[in-house]
Amino acid sequence: MSALQPVRGTQDLLPDEQRRHRAVVETARTIAERYGYQEVATPIFEFTEVFARPIGETSDIVTKEMYTFRDRGGDEVTLRPEYTAGLVRAIISNGLTQSLPLKLFASGPMFRYERPQKGRFRQFHQIDVELIGVGDPRGDVEVIALGADILDALGVLKRAELELNTLGDSASRHAYREALVAYYAAHSASLSEDSLRRLDRNPLRILDSKDEGDKRINTEAPLFANYLTPDAQGYFDAVRRGLDDLDIAYRLSPRLVRGLDYYCHTAFEFVTTDLGAQGTVLGGGRYDGLMALMGGPDTPGIGWAAGIERLAMLIEVPPAPPRPIAIVPVGEPGDAAATKIAHELRRAGFVVDMGYSGNVGRRMRRANKINARAAVLLGEDELARNAATVRDLDAGTQAEVPLMELAARLASYR
């Protein structure tokens, strides 16, 4: 593979695509701020334990997908595969558990070595929301509502469906786990190799298997709803009532699971059919056991992440920046004056383009190529009168304008 090509699973974000990404992030940031969420950022790499401990030493992410290496100091570090663990680490490291509740928003690149496919890359980007320190069903409703509002503002919500499930409390999960192990043990001869490995340590993950044989077995698997404690059922009922009150439609999805033990109660995903089989655009859940697992105090939490690339594929290309004003110097006097005039116009709020070489014809061709709205021609005679020629590139008309009035005259071209 040529070194001049991007590494497989990565991409260059050229202007149109970057505008899509920027629109996703800025829309999410604006709406998150309305909900009182504050933006933070964590390092792109952490000590490997930050991810390996909560994700699970034997999970596919840790064993197959994480970019892990030893730095020059001998420390084992990992490029972040997801946001939540790093954010929880940051809360513990900075003593923020004394400032609960925390409402956090973040965005940035993630890294996983997996098979690239539509909307999925090895370096990809996410927006992330976390509500830390709230163990009330109303927190679940708020976090889901925030996600729905962001999708709605992007024009995606009408093409997506909210799938909802409960993972219950610890007693519910213990009882359900035993039922699953017993069920799958009776079908072990037909399970895939991956599911056989998961049977002892993580049987809930079998429910999410993509193997066709596993899917057939899963159709008759026990349902979590039959093992919920009264408290867990009451919690889920409260979440559903809250979503109903906000007119947020959802579909119960009993096979929607999170395999790690610190997840509990609400699990949810917004799914679209517009991206093929891999249709989840935003997903999350409650993780009340994560903070304690990472060495902090026992603290509830709920959050979600959304893939920026996937969302960007579902939105229109945002409008281009304002059409620029082209500065076209004519001869040496024009060259001498052009930089200062361009600088003054930029400080006045104009988008200004200035070529650095070529005759007038070449610079005017450049002005047309970049779709400039107007050109400011700086010739020796005009400059001697402290003036410039302003050419309307749409109408083809032009007029001489005093330099002192240039900004006012160009205002109509913003």
pLDDT(58) > 60: no
DSSP letter at 317? Answer: P
Q: What is the pLDDT of residues 91-113, one digit of tens each?
A: 999 999 999 999 999 999 999 99
3-state secondary structure of 254: coil
Max distance between CA atoms of the chain, in angstroms, equals 94
The CATH number assigned to the domain with range 15-169+229-313 reads 3.30.930.10
Q: What is the pLDDT of residues 107-132, one digit of tens each?
A: 999 999 987 666 678 999 999 999 99
Same fold, 15-169+229-313 and 325-413: no
More confident of the two residues 282 and 256: 282
Homologous superfamily assigned to 325-413: Anticodon-binding domain (3.40.50.800)
Structure tokens at 242: 């809250």
Q: Which residues are CB-contacts of 184 (< 8 A; sequence separation ≥ 6)?
A: 191, 195, 199, 203, 206, 217, 221
pLDDT(57) > 70: no
**Distance separating alpha carbons of residues 235 and 217, to the nearest angstrom:** 29
Q: What is the pLDDT of residues 136-159, one digit of tens each?
A: 999 999 999 999 999 999 999 999
Give the domain ranges of the chain: 15-169+229-313, 325-413
Q: Which residues are CB-contacts of 60 (< 8 A; sequence separation ≥ 6)?
A: none
Q: Which residues are CB-contacts of 360 (< 8 A; sequence separation ≥ 6)?
A: 328, 330, 377
- E strands along 170-316, which residues? 251-252, 264-272, 280-286, 301-307
